[in-house]
């Protein structure tokens, strides 16, 4: 058998359901297996830990090949909202928590949630804009120091 994974650091950079959930699922699975996990939210992935936005994240419909929609159809008014409602309904039926619930659940397991300083500065945010589970705002260098000796997953 190969070496076991003891630590993962997951980068979440997209602010859509299909961009955020994979990282949350990976972090939750890591914690369930006893693996240390840290989540680094950068660019639009910050929406997952933004107090006013984390309840309003939609699925990306324009140019999303997994939806099997023509690109122009994904851009029609209301399509993103309808697809988001459909996905949320399916996830609820499978007992998959909403993004705010999932983030809180993962934080409660001891996973670290960190905001990217460059992205926070770019969007004019501060710690006050983030949910209480976000441990701190860190630089990319600090993220690499934290990730040292583990695996890095970019979603």
DSSP 87-133: HHHHHHHTTPPPHHHHHHHHHHTT-EEEEEHHHHHHTT--GGGB-TT
C-alpha 130 chain-centroid distance: 13
Average pLDDT, the chain: 95
Q: What percentage of the chain carries pLDDT values higher than 70?
A: 99
Mean per-residue pLDDT, 13-33: 96
Q: Band the pLDDT of 2: cuts 50, 70, 90.
A: low
Q: What is the pLDDT of residue 48?
A: 97
Mean per-residue pLDDT, 125-144: 97
pLDDT per residue as tens digits for the range 28-53: 999 999 999 999 999 999 999 999 99
Mean per-residue pLDDT, 87-114: 96
Q: CB neighbours of 142 closer than 8 A, spacing ≥ 6? A: none
Q: Band the pLDDT of 129: cuts 50, 70, 90.
A: very high
- Please, are residues 126 and 50 in contact by the beta-carbon 8 Å criterion? no
CATH class of residue range 7-55+98-154: alpha beta
Q: Determine the Cα–Cα distance for residues 89 and 129; give it in Å rounded to an integer.
A: 28
Match 């950079």 to its residue by tokens: 13
pLDDT per residue as tens digits for the range 45-82: 999 999 999 999 999 998 888 888 888 888 889 999 99
Nearest 5°: the CA angle 27, 19, 121 is 90
Q: Band the pLDDT of 3: cuts 50, 70, 90.
A: confident
Global pTM? 0.92
Q: Which has the higher per-residue pLDDT, 14 or 2?
A: 14
Domains in the chain: boundaries: 7-55+98-154
Q: What is the pLDDT of residue 1?
A: 58
């Amino acid at each position: 058998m190969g070496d076991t994974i003891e630590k993962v650091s997951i980068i979440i950079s997209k602010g859509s359901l299909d961009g955020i959930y994979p990282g949350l699922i990976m972090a939750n699975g890591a914690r369930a297996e006893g693996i240390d996990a840290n989540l680094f939210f950068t660019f639009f992935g910050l929406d997952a830990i933004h107090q006013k936005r984390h309840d309003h994240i939609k699925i990306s419909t324009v140019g999303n090949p997994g939806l099997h929609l023509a690109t122009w159809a994904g851009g029609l008014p209301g399509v993103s909202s309808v697809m988001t409602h459909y996905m949320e309904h399916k996830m609820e039926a499978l007992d998959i928590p909403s993004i705010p619930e999932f983030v809180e659940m993962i934080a409660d397991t001891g996973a670290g949630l960190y905001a990217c300083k460059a992205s926070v500065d770019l969007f004019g945010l501060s710690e006050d804009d983030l949910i209480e589970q976000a441990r701190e705002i860190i630089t990319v260098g600090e993220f690499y120091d934290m990730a040292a000796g583990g695996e890095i997953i970019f979603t």
